[in-house]
Every structure is written in structure tokens, then in C-alpha cells.
Structure 1
Amino acid sequence: MNRRHRAAAAIVVVCAVTLLAAPSQAFAAPAPPGAPAAPAAPPAPPGKSLEDVRLELEGLYAKAASATDAYNLAEEQTKKQSAQIVKLAQQIVKGQARIDDLKKRAGATARAQYRDGGLPPGAQLLLSENPQLFLDGVNRIQQGQKATKDLLGELTRTQADLAAYSKEASLQWTKLEANRVKQEKAKKEINDRITAAKKIEARLKSEERARLLKLEQDAAYKAQTAWLSSGALKGATGGASETGKAAIAFATAQIGKPYVWGAEGPGSYDCSGLTSQAWAAAGRGIPRTSQEQWRLLPRIDIKDMRPGDLIIYHADASHVGMYVGDGAIVHAPRPGRNVTLAGAGSMAILGVVRPDK
């Protein structure tokens, strides 16, 4: 057995131990090789095999993961739009104060003209009999005309800016409300999917839950072994960067903490909450959701992968784990599971991104 296959076997053992030790779980350990066959477990729910149940649960949790990503993205956008609305409101207040000041100045100019008899400055100048006063008056008129023109120009620009700020604030408010609707819709879908999955699991007896866990482990091991055997990691021998090491240290320190959708720590995480917080702890801010991590971070080939890189899973980029080397990832799997180590090839890989490229 080569090093990679030994690593794969070790990962399955670690995952099994982690899951068996998780609170509120009552799973039996698989029988060792050569041991007498265990008594037949009670039958699965009518019309469904345990494999059918496993696939149904997998589908429900996958849909919950997609909805979680949609919720997290809407939440991030809501935060940004709220901050933008506050900023625009401050600009509107400043703009209105500036307009009020400019109007006062314009009014003072008009009142001064009225006190001078209402005659235009040019007419008043022509009535002057003192040549020096005449020349001084010409200069004052030119300065006054420029000041008046500048005042009116600034007033016009400020009013235009105020109108633009108001329009942008209205647009951001519309987007904010739309994202709140998306959040509520995603939240309902998440809760519906997780509730449905929990009801299915609650109907299983302890022996069936143990067999179901074994089926999950077997499926993950089969996928991991096939991935390693394909030579996917051939040439992937690069070491982690310094920031990558810091991100790995943070992520692995969270092992054993529960998955909670929408969580970013410190007591619980969802998949992208774990990876985004790990890289934030390393001093590198990255997008919050797995879909945005896939969309915005630099992509690399698997053969060039190094520890600290993020592996994005499933066609909709709804899951992410951090590669830690030797064919393994650390990730927050799904509701009912804890942050753990797993085989990097145990799920369908979409691609790899590198936060510090």
C-alpha cells in the first residue's frame, strides 16, 4: 500500500472515530475483519433500502447546502447595501446643509442689491462722478459677477449631487429589500430540507443508523480510492505558503466543533464559514460563500494544488473544504456532523482555488 492509499485509509478511520464520538450520535462500530456476522438488523423503511435512504438524505443535505450559500450571499449583500445606504444618507444630509448655506448667501446678495435701490451694479457705476471710484467699481463688479456665477454654479452642482444621492439610496433600498426576501426564502428552504432529513433519520433504529453510517463511509472510501488511483495527485507536492500554514492551523483547530448553517464561529461553522474565517485569521480576506470563492478566487489545476488551497465541490459550488495535504481536507460537512478530516476525493470535485495566489 503506497503512501497515498495509507493516507486514504487513515482518513476514513479518523472520520469514523470523529463521527462515533460526536454527541447525540448512537452508532455502532463496524465489526473487525473475520468477526462473526452480526445479527440481521431490522428492515429499512417499507419500500426503501438503506442505500435509498442514504441517497435521499444526501440529496436533502445537498439542497440545504445550496440554500445556505444563497442565504449567506444575500446576508453579505444586505450588510454591504445597509452600509451604503448609511453612507448615502450622510452625504444627503451634508448636501442639504450645503444647499441651505448657498441659498442664504444668494439671499444676502439679493438683499444687498435691494438696499442699493434696486439698480443694477452697472447703472450705479455710471452715476459715479469720481474716476477712481469708477475704476474701483469696475473691479468690484467683475469680482461680484464671478462670485455670483460661482455661487449659482455650486448651487446647481450640489442640487444635482443631492438628486443623485437620493436616487442611489432608493436603488440600494430596493436591492436591500430584495435580498431580505431572498434570505427569508433561503432560510425556509434550509429549515424545510434539514427538518425532512431529521425526520427520516429519526425513523431509523440504532442498528439502521449504524449501517447507514457504514454505507456513508464505504461510499466516501470508494470515491477517495478511485480518485487517488486516477493519479489526480501526481505531481502535487508543493508545500504550503506561510499564510496557508496559518489558515490550516486555524481550520484544524476547529475540528470537533459542530456544523451550523450560516455560522462563522467561534463555536460552530458551516463549510464556507470555516474556510473564510481560517483565511481571515491568516490575514487574507476572501469571499464568504463557496460559490463566491469559486467565482472570484484564482483557479489552479489539481496537479498544482498545495496545502491551504480550497477545493470546491459539486456542480453548483455548494461545498468547500481546505486541502491539508496527503489527499485530505478539513471541512464542516453538514448538519448533524462536526468539523472533521475527510478524503479530498470523497465528493465530486468542481475545482481548486488559491486565496493567496
Structure 2
Amino acid sequence: MGRGKRGLLAAAVTVVCAVTVLAVPGTAFASVPAGPAEPSVRPSASATPEPTATPAPAPVPDAELEKVRARLDGLYHDAAVATDAYNAAEEKTRKQSVQLARLEKKTDAARMKLAELKDQAGAAARAQYRDSGLPPMARFLLSDNPQRFADGAGTLLNGARATKKLIAETDRVERELKRDTDDAADRWKKLERDRKDKAAAQKTVQERIADAEKLESRLEKKEKARLAELERQAAHKAQTAWLDSGALKKADATVTATSAGAKAVAFATAQLGKPYVWGAEGPDSFDCSGLTSQAWADAGSPIPRTSQEQWKQLRHVDVADMRPGDLVIYFADATHVGMYVGDGKIIHAPRPGRTVTIAGAGTMPILGVVRPDA
């Protein structure tokens, strides 16, 4: 091979070797002497920038979630207070409406009676006019027939008695009608006040529930789960402390429900899983006192509609002596109620967003216990 050809071949081999080395991935260049630093190269406008990773939000500390839980408890308690006020106003309007309906029937009957008495008085006046306008006394005195005189004396006496009775009856019916009319007017005023109270309570309930739902909506899914866990822990702690205090001195095995109490418990148990709706009395949803009042109504012992009236009107019993069917009243203002079912537990409708459930009787501050079938 000539010198020229050997030179070309050597050059070709050198180029191939260089390309091969550059094409091998992971090839180290540590042995290559470092040259001067090259200027940085900006990507062209057409190049797609790499996405920037969004840092995960820091988890909310338990201390902050406890504040949220306390705030939620406060809002739902305020809603419970307003719900009791709403239920009380609703009960009043119902009773006033019944009383007004009775008064309306009574006044209608009095008006008909008064019209009848006036017709009788008018008939007597027309009869007198037909007899030449002479009053019965004058005709009696002018009579010259002894028999007619005697008959007239009896007729006059009977007529005087009838007239006196007619006047007295008319006066009595008029007084009764006025009294019932005034009573109806007063009841209408009370009904309007009760309706206004009901509307104001309804507005408060809706506002407090909306505030609570808005607060809960700000929480992430994990935070809601953690909040629920904190609630369970707090409930367990409260129940354990209550049981350890010896509040239940008697063994449940020795305490049995009456037949009415057992029926009330059976009714409440059948409602498990149904949603809490404020102001509801069933059959598809309940609030706390709606559940207990309907349970005892089903057992044949109607009780007041609200937890506050249940506390006021029903007989109080010691916590240690409570039996299934008794009602446990909670909080200092008696704004929550559950039904004791034994083994230290109650069935209750907790609050908006929850369902009728079984809970420990000591998970909330107990005001006292009342017995519907005392």
C-alpha cells in the first residue's frame, strides 16, 4: 500500500474511534484535561420547562384540630339551643291552633244561639203588635170575662217568666260570646308571637349549622379523619372517667326496664342509622328530643317535646338508679337528651351530619336523669 493510502486509512480509523467513544453511554472523561468554563446555555423558547414540584402542605397539629373541635362543639351546641327554642315555639303554635279551632266552634255556636234568641224576641214583639199593640198586662186588666181573666192571669205569669228567661239567656250568651271572642283575639296575638319566635330560632339554627359546615369544609380529608379520631379519643376518655367514678353503682343485670320502657327502647333501637335533622320527629329523621318523645309516645306514654321540658316536667331519678328507657339529660341548659339502654350506653340523635347511634352515657356532661313512666 502506498504512503498516501496508508495516511488516509489512519485518519479514517482515528475518526471512527473518536465517534465510538463519544457514543458509549456513561463514558468517563476524568482523564481529559479541563478546559475553560463554557457559558451557560439558556433553553430556547420552544423548549418545555420542567414542572416545579409543589411542596405538600404541612399537617395541621393536633392542638389546632382540638381548637377546631371545640369551635365545632360550640356551634353545634348553639344550634341545639336554638333547635329546642324552635321546637318549643312549634309546640306552642300547635296548641294555640288547637285552642283557636275549639274557640271558633264555640263562638259559632254562641252566634247561632244568640240569633235564635233574637228571633224569639222578635216573634214576641210581632205577636204583641198583632194584638193591637196592647201589652199583655193591659189586655189582662181590661178583660170583663172572669174565665178569660183567670186564663189571662196564668198566661201573663207564664209569659213574664218566659220573657225573663229569654232576656237572661240572651244576656248570658252575649257575655259568653264576648269572652270567647276576646280569648280568641289574645290567642291570635300569642300565636303570632310564637310564630315569630319560631322563625327567629329557625334562622339561628340554620346560621350555626352553616358556620359549622363551612369550618369543616376547610379541612383536608386527612384532617377530617384525624379530627374524627380525636373526637373518638375524647369520647372514650370521658366515658372511661365516668365509669371509673362509680356513677353506675348497680349492676345492669339487676336493673330491668318496665314493659313500657322496653317498648320505648325497642322503638329507639329501630331508628339506628337514620339521619339527624333539627326539628324532626320521624319517621325518616329525628333530632334528639324528637327521638325520645316519639319513642315514649309509641310506648303509650306521651312526654313533652323538648329536652328542656322533659327535664322540667318528668320525675328525676338518681343516675345510679337509672334503668333502660330512662332519659339522660345533658349540659347545664338541658339542650340534649339520650335514652338509656343499659350497660352504660345511650341511643341518641347527636347533631347535624350524624345519624341515630349508640354512645357511652358519660361521653357528655350529664345534668340528670328523668323517668317517663314514673
Fold-level similarity (TM above 0.5): yes
Separation (CA, whole Å) in 1 of partners of 2:58 and 2:77: 28
Aligned length: 317
User: What letter matches 1:283 in structure 2?
Assistant: G
Q: Please list the CA deviations of residues 115-156 of structure 1 after superposition, one character each: whole Å capped at 9, or x if unmatched.
A: 222223222112212222211111111110010000010100
Deviation at 1:87, TM superposition (A): 1.4
Equivalence map 1:294-333=2 (5 Å):
294-333=311-350
Specify the structure having the higher radius of gyration (Cα).
2
Q: Please list the CA deviations of residues 188-232 of structure 1 after superposition, one character each: whole Å capped at 9, or x if unmatched.
A: 100100000001111111111111111111111111111111111
Partner of 1:254: 271
Equivalence map 1:2-151=2 (5 Å):
42-44=58-60, 49-151=64-166
**The residue matched to 1:351 in structure 2 has which SS?**
strand
Residue 201 in 1 paired to residue 216 in 2? yes
Q: Please list the CA deviations of residues 31-73 of structure 1 after superposition, one character each: whole Å capped at 9, or x if unmatched.
A: xxxxxxxxx994339x971110000000000000110011011
**The residue matched to 1:341 in structure 2 has which SS?**
strand
Deviation at 1:235, TM superposition (A): 2.6
**The residue matched to 1:320 in structure 2 has which SS?**
strand
Q: Please list the CA deviations of residues 234-255 of structure 1 after superposition, one character each: whole Å capped at 9, or x if unmatched.
A: 0364210001001101101111
In angstroms, what is the RMSD of aligned CA positions?
Answer: 1.6
Deviation at 1:182, TM superposition (A): 0.7
> What 5-or-longer segments of structure 2 have no aligned partner?
1-55
**The residue matched to 2:368 in structure 1 has which SS?**
strand
Q: Please list the CA deviations of residues 290-337 of structure 1 after superposition, one character each: whole Å capped at 9, or x if unmatched.
A: 111111111111122111000011111110000000100000000111
Separation (CA, whole Å) in 1 of partners of 2:66 and 2:352: 19
Greater RCO structure (CA 8 Å; 6+ sep): 1
Partner of 2:235: 220
Separation (CA, whole Å) in 2 of partners of 1:221 and 1:355: 28
User: What letter matches 2:167 in structure 1?
Assistant: L
TM-score of the two chains, using structure 1 as the length reference: 0.86
Would you say the 8 A contact 1:323–1:344 is kept in 2?
Answer: yes
Residue 275 in 1 paired to residue 292 in 2? yes
Q: Please list the CA deviations of residues 78-137 of structure 1 after superposition, one character each: whole Å capped at 9, or x if unmatched.
A: 111112112111111111111111111101111111222222322211221222221111
User: What letter matches 2:158 in structure 1?
Assistant: Q
Would you say the 8 A contact 1:42–1:207 is kept in 2?
Answer: no
Separation (CA, whole Å) in 2 of partners of 1:78 and 1:147: 44
Partner of 2:168: 153
Match of 1:337 among 340, 354, 373: 354
Separation (CA, whole Å) in 2 of partners of 1:299 and 1:311: 10
> What 5-or-longer segments of structure 1 have no aligned partner?
1-39
Separation (CA, whole Å) in 1 of partners of 2:121 and 2:58: 90
**The residue matched to 1:212 in structure 2 has which SS?**
helix
Separation (CA, whole Å) in 2 of partners of 1:245 and 1:128: 85
